[in-house]
Amino acid sequence: DIQMTQSPSSLSASVGDRVTITCRASQGVRNYVAWFQQKPGKAPKSLIYFASSLRDGVPSRFSGSGSGTDFTLTISSLQAEDFATYSCQQYDSYPLTFGGGTKVEI
Amino acid sequence: QVQLVQSGAEVKKPGASVKVSCKASGYTFSTYGMTWVRQAPGLGLEWMGWISAYKGHTNYAQKLQGRVTLTTDTSTSTAYMELRSLGSDDTGVYYCARGTAEADYWGQGTLVTVSS
């Protein structure tokens, strides 16, 4: 199984900060990485697919990059509604696997 | 708009089975597969498997093979996930999500509690 290792596991930030979350795959997954946002008690929300493609309706302050084994999710200017847990997922091969999550706190 | 509405919370005893439904609306059900993902309390997301809505092809996580069955009913645009021989480590929230690889729309989740 491909392991997706996220870092950091948590971070503290302020409104307006630039935030970067990384995800490393244990083997190459080409560009088949998605990013999700999850708030407590809620379902995950898809933000990005194919490493850097933004879902319709997702604010442009979110961006994704990377290919192969190293990927990043960047929030260019953190907003109050962005405090949540972010998870990456590879869908290059089965079983599909998720990272452990990064909790973004105030 | 696309909506996936899941059935309500369940409490089951160890060894029992649970069947969760996911009713889709706002798109042509047969043109997308459905993925199931679960999340144990305080932990990350775990892929369970997917099913193609049209032909019913399935792909299951090996660790759940033999205990999980995914089905669909195209007449009601509903997907189902049945998990058998429940144990305490099956406690968590179960999600359906549209797609067979990366999922775009997710259901609201169904809490399954396994307790004696």
Average pLDDT in chain B: 95
Q: Which one of B35, B59, B109 has the shortest CB-CB distance to A43?
A: B109
Residue B103: exposure state from Cβ atoms within 10 A (0-12, 13-18, ≥19): buried
User: Residue B95 has what pLDDT?
Assistant: 98
pLDDT band at B111 (very low <50, low <70, confident <90, very high): very high
Instruction: Specify whether the CB–CB gap between B109 and B95 falls below 8 A.
Output: yes
CB atoms within 10 A of CB A56: 6
The 10s digit of each residue's pLDDT in A20-77 is 999 999 999 999 999 999 999 999 999 999 999 999 999 999 999 999 999 999 999 9
pLDDT of residue B55: 85
How close does chain B come to A16, measured CA to CA in Å? 27
pLDDT tens, residue by residue, B43-97: 999 999 999 988 889 999 999 989 999 999 999 999 999 999 999 999 999 999 9
Cβ-nearest to A55 among B61, B97, B104: B104
Mutate to test the interface with B, among A10, A96, A97, A98 (most CBs of B within 10 A): A96
Neighbours of B107 (CB within 10 A): 25
Helix (H, G, I), strand (E, B) or coil at B54: coil
B18-49 per-position pLDDT tens digit: 999 999 999 999 999 999 999 999 999 999 99
Q: Identify the pLDDT of residue B27.
A: 96
Contacts of A101 in chain B (CB under 8 A): 44-45
Residues of A in contact with B96 (CB under 8 A): none
Query: Which chain A residues are closer than 8 Å to B35 by Cβ?
Result: 96
